[in-house]
Amino acid sequence: MRFTILILLCIFLLFSTQTLCTTTLEQDFKEAPKYYNSQTCKNIESSHHSNHTCSNSAVHVAMTLDVSYIRGSMAAILSILQHTSCPENIVFHFITSASVSILNRTINNSFPYLKYQIYPFNDGPVAGLISTSIRSALDTPLNYARTYLADLLPLCITKIVYLDSDLILVDDIAILFATPLRSTTILAAPEYCNANFSNYFTPSFWSNPSLSLTFANRERKACYFNTGVMVIDLQRWRKGEYTTMIREWMELQKRMRIYELGSLPPFLLVFAGRITPVDHRWNQHGLGGDNFRGLCRDLHPGPVSLLHWSGKGKPWARLDGNRACPLDALWAPYDLLKTRFALEV
Ligand SMILES: *[C@@H]1O[C@H](CO)[C@@H](O)[C@H](O)[C@H]1NC(C)=O
Ligand SMILES: *[C@@H]1O[C@H](CO)[C@@H](O)[C@H](O)[C@H]1NC(C)=O
Ligand SMILES: *[C@@H]1O[C@H](CO)[C@@H](O)[C@H](O)[C@H]1NC(C)=O
Ligand SMILES: *[C@@H]1O[C@H](CO)[C@@H](O)[C@H](O)[C@H]1NC(C)=O
């Protein structure tokens, strides 16, 4: 009996890894056009370093790259280049933990002019810190890479915009990057004080007096913010050793369950009530619906600079499955995937 189950399990594993491997190779992307700086842009190449990685007049953007979200990442990159006045001044910092050469080739083929650097992320240490959440996609170690940016990127990079892979920009990222951080804050992000903050932590967290006091003496009211769009002062982060603080909360979570979501709650524990708020237009989040079913969602009222399909439903999957939500049509123009039966011209 046990033996049969083992065999079945092996067959299943074989089958699933094989489908994973073939989908990797079948995703073929188009080449994006070259985008040029407008005349008012500073020329970052005129600085004496030919290497842009450290340019202090560049706009630095960090994202993760992995095989399952690469289609989203490609669309995000394209949308950034299309809506900025100085596309040649954007330097991308990609964090990857696997399939580095395939992903590098994919980026290089579609964006031959892109200024970027790839950083390998060793997901072993963080894997041991992850406790299962309500949605398995949130439990991949790469989802935690945002916690380690200050350690992964070279010291010369002092400020970065971190972006998830399931979003597109429809405004100039240089505006977001230029957000001035108030003197005591480490990061800037849109915050949502109407969301019921209690729900992000478990009853055992709130009923423990020493834990629930965590949010007591914050400069401002502790509010929810989404970690998919953040402007981070890496210098202050490094100085305050915030990676360690977040890791300590993750270690506690392994011992007693204090929250249900993935990488978000430790950020809230450390930073909520201590961030520089950014206009909501820079993270119109939740378009992927909830974490269970991924139903269609509408935009929040107000202007839009960034659309974010956080939640279970991703626009590429819904478009492929012919069950697109109305707003998924806004993502489609940035899709670089070659359609399999399209005629080559
Ligand atoms: C650019 O400089 C950074 C930091 O000094 C270094 O890590 C990186 O390898 C360099 N990149 C290239 C392409 O030379
Ligand atoms: C990147 O693309 C250029 C041509 O666009 C090619 O010469 C180069 O070999 C590519 N590099 C990789 C690692 O694929
Ligand atoms: C990615 O490809 C570029 C060439 O296009 C190469 O210079 C670079 O070293 C590659 N990075 C990694 C991490 O493989
Ligand atoms: C927030 O949620 C908690 C627990 O679900 C509930 O007890 C509390 O009344 C809610 N607060 C508000 C302001 O709705």
Q: How far apart (Å, rounded) are the C-alpha atoms in residues 195 and 216?
A: 18
Q: For the domain made up of 27-38+46-280, give the CATH fold.
A: Spore Coat Polysaccharide Biosynthesis Protein SpsA; Chain A (3.90.550)
Report residue 89 as tokens: 């001044």
228 Cα to the center of ligand 3, angstroms: 26
Q: What is the pLDDT of residue 25?
A: 45
Question: How many Å lie between the centroid of ligand 4 and the Cα of residue 264?
Answer: 19
Across the 345 residues of the chain, what is the mean pLDDT of every consecutive 10-residue run?
A: 44 45 65 96 70 89 95 98 97 95 96 96 84 70 92 96 98 98 95 92 94 90 96 98 95 90 91 96 92 80 95 92 93 92 49
Nearest atom of ligand 4 to the alpha carbon of 196: 1
Q: How far is the CA of 323 from the centre of ligand 3 (A)?
A: 37
Q: Which amino acid is at 221?
A: K
Write the burial class of residue 312 (CB in 10 Å: 0-12 exposed, 13-18 middle, 19+ buried).
middle
Cα–Cα distance for residue pair 345/331, rounded to 1 Å: 24
Is there an atom of ligand 3 within 6 Å of 108 CB? yes
Give the C-alpha separation, 161 to 51, whole Å. Answer: 20
| 337 secondary structure, DSSP code | B
Task: Please tell me the residue having the least CA distance from ligand 2 atom 1.
Answer: 108
At residue 174, the pLDDT reads 98
| Res 61: pLDDT | 98
Q: What pTM did the predictor assign? A: 0.89
User: So what's the pLDDT on residue 1?
Assistant: 43
Q: Taking the mean position of all CA atoms in its chain, how far away is CA 149?
A: 12
Q: Is the minimum distance from the CB of 102 to ligand 3 under 6 angstroms?
A: no
Sheet holding 115-120, edge to edge: 115-120, 90-96, 59-64, 159-163, 229-233, 187-189, 276-277
Q: Give the count of beta carbons closer than 10 Å to the beta carbon of residue 9.
A: 10
Instruction: Please give the Cα distance from 252 to 45 (Å, whole number).
Output: 46
Smallest-distance ligand from the CA of 201:
4
Return the residue whose CA atom lies nearest to atom 11 of ligand 4: 196
Q: What is the DSSP letter of 298?
A: P
- Which protein residue's CA is at the shortest distance from atom 3 of ligand 4? 198
Cα of 202 vs centre of ligand 4, distance in Å, is 12
pLDDT of residue 123: 83
CA distances from 41 to 6, 58, 97 (A): 61, 10, 34
| Apex 50 CA angle, 146 and 150, nearest 5 | 15
110 CA to middle of ligand 2, Å?
10
